[in-house]
Amino acid sequence: MSLTRLLAIARKEVMQIVRDTRSLIIVVIMPAVLVLLFGYGVNLDLKRLPVYVYDQDGSQQSQDLLKHFQVSEYFHIVRVVSGYPELTRALDDGSARMSIVIPWNFSESLRDGRPVQVQALVDGSDNNSASVLIGYAQAVVQGYSSQLQIDWMRQRGLAMQPVALSVETRTWYNENLESSAFIIPGVLALVMSVIGAFLTSLTIAREWERGTMEQLISTPVTAMEIMLGKLAPYFVIGMFDTIISALIAIYWFHVPFRGSWVTLMGASAMFLIVVLSMGFLISVIAKGQFLACQIALLITFLPAFLLSGFLFSIDQMPIALQWITRIFPARYYVSVLKQIFLKGTSASMLYADLVPLAVFTFVLALAATRSFHKRLD
């Protein structure tokens, strides 16, 4: 292998990237755009949700209950209405995500010590949001109910009975339960897929389409030198974009980073070799840029988005689909990213993800090496 010939191929590929405006945009702008887009655009935190209220009682007690909803960070009382038709319209047109109906005998029932129910009408078109809303509403009402019981016992001079059992919760790794801390680390896998698979899937296919492959074949350069020379620039670019994306996550979105940069870079290098090898294989097989792009999207970007645990928990998927996710390298890389960022897990404890990732790296790199031959088919 000649280092001079390898560097010449790499220089040729760098010039191609610089001349191709579309590739340059993907290389320079796309990583930052993806991190910012997912950081700001994808938010699973439900806060300040619009609520309409129909207070049939209009008493001091009903106002006290509504104040508990007002001080909650999850609810925003938009309007107090005078009938069910307005509540229905608000839920239909999306002005309200939930409506609260306080019955006419609310204060009277509380004064007599009788149980009373408050009605909550929830927009169930988004079942996940609806479930969370119901839980938030129940927590607010239960908190208000507990305060009423305490006041009632104090007014009658009754001693408070100690609670036999209670739960004290402490949240580890993502103390504020912010969705950005869960989502943004996984964006690095998407960045790698774009830089690695999309761009490298065009390398050999572009040579065939432009008729320059015959010239390469006629030169003394070997197949290995062609492959390494074409992939080396994308490897450097991918590692650079990974660092930039990680810095944006840490210093712009304040995602906690508790792990080792060495472990992060090592895992990223393995995953980048995987996607580069996959992209090169696609380019050799497809021999057409359009087809290569479509295949790259199908087997790299989409699995990294849907089947890696990036947004959707793998544990909640059907068993058959959970097994299918094991054949996609992005699953292991996303798991490593979240553990490095949020938990600070050391490399010695990441073997369950790093070992499969290393196997994928070896197998796909070997397959890419064997796939390309200097001959006209």
- The string of pLDDT tens digits covering residues 341-352 is 999 999 989 999
Percentage of the chain surpassing pLDDT 90? 20
What does the pLDDT read at residue 377?
A: 56
Give helix 3-19 / helix 223-247 axis angle, nearest 10°.
50
Residue of 12, 2, 70 lying closest to 212 (CA atoms): 12
Percent of the chain topping pLDDT 70: 89
pLDDT computed for residue 352 by the predictor: 92
User: Pairing relation of β-strands 98-102 and 119-122?
Assistant: antiparallel
Q: CA separation (Å) from 57 to 9, 77, 121, 192, 329?
A: 80, 17, 18, 58, 59
**What is the reported pLDDT for 234?**
86
pLDDT of residue 303: 84
Q: Which positions of the chain have pLDDT values less than 70?
A: 1, 43-45, 152, 155-167, 202, 205, 207-214, 216-217, 287, 374-377
pLDDT at 62: 87
The class of domain 49-155 in CATH terms is: alpha beta
Which pLDDT belongs to residue 107? 86
pLDDT of residue 159: 60
Q: Are 207 and 288 a contacting pair, CB within 8 Å?
A: no
Global pTM reads 0.79
Residue 358's CB is within 10 A of a number of other CB atoms, namely 17
What pLDDT does residue 282 have?
Answer: 82
Average pLDDT over the chain, rounded to whole? 83
Give phi and psi for 45, each to the nearest 5. Answer: -80, 125
Residue 98 burial class via C-beta count within 10 angstroms: exposed 0-12, middle 13-18, buried 19 and up: buried
Domain ranges within the chain, ordered by starting residue: 3-42+178-371, 49-155
